[in-house]
Amino acid sequence: MNPAKKKNFKIEPFKHKVEMDPKYAEKTWKILEDAIHEIYNHNASGLSFEELYRNAYNMVLHKYGEKLYSGVVQTMTQHLREIAKIIEGAQGGLFLEELDVKWREHNKSLQMIRDILMYMDRTFVNNFNKTPVHELGLNLWRDHIVRSPQIRDRLLNTLLDLVRRERTGEVINRGLMRNITKMLVELGTNVYQEDFERPFLDAASDFYRLESQQLIETSDCPDYLRKAEKRLNEEIERVAHYLDSKSEPKITQVVEREVIGNRMRLLVEMENSGLISMLIDDKYDDLGRMYNLFRRISTGLQTMRELMTAHLRETGRQLVMDPERLKDPVEFVQRLLDEKDKYDRIIQQSFHNDKMFQNALNSSFEYFINLNIRSPEFISLFVDDKLRKGLKGASEEDVELVLDKVMMLFRYLQEKDVFEKYYKQHLAKRLLSGRTVSDDAERSLIVKLKTECGYQFTSKLEGMFTDMKTSRDTMQGFNATGAGAEGNEGPTLTVQVLTTGSWPTQSGARCNMPTEILAMCDKFKMYYLSTHTGRRLTWQTNMGTADLKATFGDGNKHELNVSTYQMCILCLFNQADRLSYREIEQATDIPAPDLKRSLQSLACVKGKNVLRKEPMSKDISEDDTFVFNDKFSSKFYKVKISTVVAQKESEPEKQETRQKVEEDRKPQIEAAIVRIMKSRRLLDHNNIISEVTKQLQARFMPNPAVIKKRIESLIEREFLERDRMDRKLYRYLA
């Protein structure tokens, strides 16, 4: 036998058997076919499983697998065609129920048919790569029932109509819906998707496009959002009840797109109810809802953030630029803090502490606080106010809270060195006048500044505290020598020795002190220099205070608390009752602006006018004459006559401070340039500018023009040179 033939006629041996009973296959198939009919007609009780199984087994064994398989396909198809007719004939609402009932019956029949044909499934189907019986039954159901032209559209329309009715508030049979969708899923995910899910999503899209259009015309923003949220939850619930769980992201996406995404701009910008007015009115619930809904859209939160930032910047700009508010620095800073608190609460309560929103808030504050160049001064003044009196009696926690808030504002400042300058001035005044509320609070704030800006930033501030302490020790030593507290009649002297450099001193503060004071001063000077060699003492008369005992007409005695300058002026009136401005100026040698201010506070403040001025007016002129006010009276024994100091700096002072700050910045910028050039050797202009800015921005934002000037100065002093080939490059000269 040649090999090719052998391959083709493997079946041969069985031909003999078939010839013995040619009707064997027909007979056996007839039995099985009848059984399948009976199964479909719910009349299986008379059937013997063993007999049917054995018959199917024999057919496969005797190579009639193909006949058996095609017979089954044919018989099942025939039954399904009949079933299709019955379902098609179902009236109206009964259509779905009929389909459901028939589907369950088919499943049961299929199970039984599969049982009979189990052996065929395992051998014939496997060997010849056919579709297994169960899958075959599902495929036939799909092709002859679900996708039959008479049923397909009707089924889809019925399902969509039910969903639509449920959306408009009607109650539908959810159990039936679930059975039908489950059937579609069982027939294959693509059947569910193509025959139901896709049209369902399209219908939802149309429905919500229309609804949201009507809604947005009639509702305000919070109302709209409430309804949108409700719709979204309804759809999620619908999926849970009777759709495939994989549909959830798809349907929510449709609702998100139609109801929120496409209306986003309109919603947030809705007048009198949009995002801005929610922010203004602290509508935590509405804001939270908006956040949760918008979070679902890719650009949703960004839209909210942008609008919030724009609003914050605008209100912030108004806040810091409003000339009315600039009058009271404490109020100004308090407003900033309140604004910050308000938005912190919103972000915490409504926005889940979203980092992106926090960042937007911070950058907005940084933006508008630095719009006003007086912000550093005002913040320092706010601290000053709090530490002088505002925090009196407050608990430690409260103090910490206020200080932390101040630190937060401080962080926003770009010109931190300006703040330092003012802070030093204000701290000096507090320390010297002994009017700080609590040393602990002062120190706590300095520690905070130190952690924020480093050791260098606070070293001088800490020096001031050290000076205060050593001064107390020195005074104790001085008094112990007996030189300080001699005799009850003489004046008592308290000296605070300040280290030059740590304190914001003004050189050129001079005045002629009364002789008795001068003597005391000399004694102290001798004592101090005898204990500390190689030091030089300069009297800062502009910063001192004095307590004077004065007797007025009718024997009225008062203790007057005055500044050193005022003391000098008043002591002149021990010898004379009437002095002209020029006489006073000559005798005391106090600088004119200080003198005027001192006189003003002695003569022009009601209730504290120990001097009378002629002629009477608010301002001091150089032709005025001053008379001892014999009639002065006060219900207090102690009278504090404070110098009229503008709490805020006046315009020229401001200029002066500014100039000082600029002056201080020069060496810092130069140091930064040299540091950078030393490591880089060769760098172009733009890169130097950006590196210097990077290094210094913790303290202030250096102006590029200033940096350029510093570079030029360094070139003059031969630290740097321009490259000969490329003028834009700078070279470091070691």
Partner 1 sequence: MAHDRVHLNVGGKHFVTSRTTLANAGRGSMLAAVIDENWQLVPDAASNELFIDRNPAYFTVLLDLLRTGELHVPPGMLEKPLYREAEYYGILDHVKAARKGPLNGNRLDCVASISGRATGDGTAIRASPDGGCCVAHGSMVHVYDWLMEEQTPLTLDYVNVNDVGFLSSNRVVICTGERENGAGGMASFNTRTGKIEHKFQVVHDGESKNFTAGALASSDKHVYASCRGRSYEYGVGTWDQITGQQASFLYEGPGRPLGDACKMQWLPRTNLLLVANLFPSSDHSFITLLDSRTKGKVWSWTDAALRGTADEKIVMDTVAMEECSTVCVVNQFDNLGFIDMRANNQCVRWSYRYQPSKISEAEERFYSKLACSGSQLFSSKNDSVYVFCSPDWDAAKGVQTARLRRKEGGAISDISVGGDRLFVLHNEEDVFDVWETPGSSQIVDIY
Residues that bind partner 1 (CB under 8 A): 3, 6-7, 10, 44-50, 53-54, 57, 108, 111-112, 115, 118-119, 122-123, 126-129
Helix, strand, coil percentages, rounded to 5, for the chain: 70, 5, 25
- What is the bridge-based pairing of β-strands 682-684 and 545-551? unpaired
Respond yes or no on whether the N-terminal peptide bond of residue 132 is cis (omega within 30° of 0). no
**3-state DSSP of 671-685:** HHHHHHHHHHCEEEH
CB closer to partner 1 out of 138 and 399: 138
Minimum CB separation from partner 1 for residue 55, in Å? Answer: 10
What's 132's DSSP letter? P
CB closer to partner 1 out of 51 and 516: 51
Closest CA to 665 of 303, 316, 421: 421
CB closer to partner 1 out of 54 and 411: 54
Distance in angstroms between the alpha carbons of the first and the last residue of the chain: 103
Q: Phi and psi for 262 in degrees, rounded to 5?
A: -75, -15
The sign of the torsion formed by the CA atoms of 148, 149, 154, 159 equals positive
Reduced to 3 states (helix: H, G, I; strand: E, B; else coil), residue 621 is: coil
Minimum CB separation from partner 1 for residue 102, in Å? Answer: 17
CB closer to partner 1 out of 48 and 218: 48
List Cα–Cα distances, 264 to 93, 268, 287, 354, in angstroms: 40, 6, 14, 19
Minimum CB separation from partner 1 for residue 671, in Å? Answer: 49
Minimum CB separation from partner 1 for residue 124, in Å? Answer: 10
CB closer to partner 1 out of 138 and 584: 138
Minimum CB separation from partner 1 for residue 131, in Å? Answer: 13
CB closer to partner 1 out of 38 and 486: 38
Please say whether the beta carbons of 558 and 638 come within 8 A. yes
The C-alpha atoms of residue 540 and residue 660 are separated, in whole angstroms, by: 20
List Cα–Cα distances, 319 to 109, 307, 368, 369, 383, in angstroms: 80, 18, 9, 9, 19
Minimum CB separation from partner 1 for residue 28, in Å? Answer: 14
**3-state DSSP of 248-300:** HHHHHHHHHHHHHHHHHHHHHCCCCCCHHHHHHCCCHHHHHHHHHHHCCCCCH
Minimum CB separation from partner 1 for residue 40, in Å? Answer: 13
**H or E element in which residue 424 lies:** helix 416-432
CB closer to partner 1 out of 120 and 228: 120
The C-alpha atoms of residue 245 and residue 350 are separated, in whole angstroms, by: 30
Minimum CB separation from partner 1 for residue 26, in Å? Answer: 21
Minimum CB separation from partner 1 for residue 161, in Å? Answer: 36
CB closer to partner 1 out of 134 and 317: 134
CB closer to partner 1 out of 132 and 188: 132
Place of tokens 């004071």: 517
Would you state the structure tokens that stand for residue 115, as one six-digit string?
């049982």
Minimum CB separation from partner 1 for residue 290, in Å? Answer: 43
Minimum CB separation from partner 1 for residue 188, in Å? Answer: 17
CB closer to partner 1 out of 36 and 432: 36
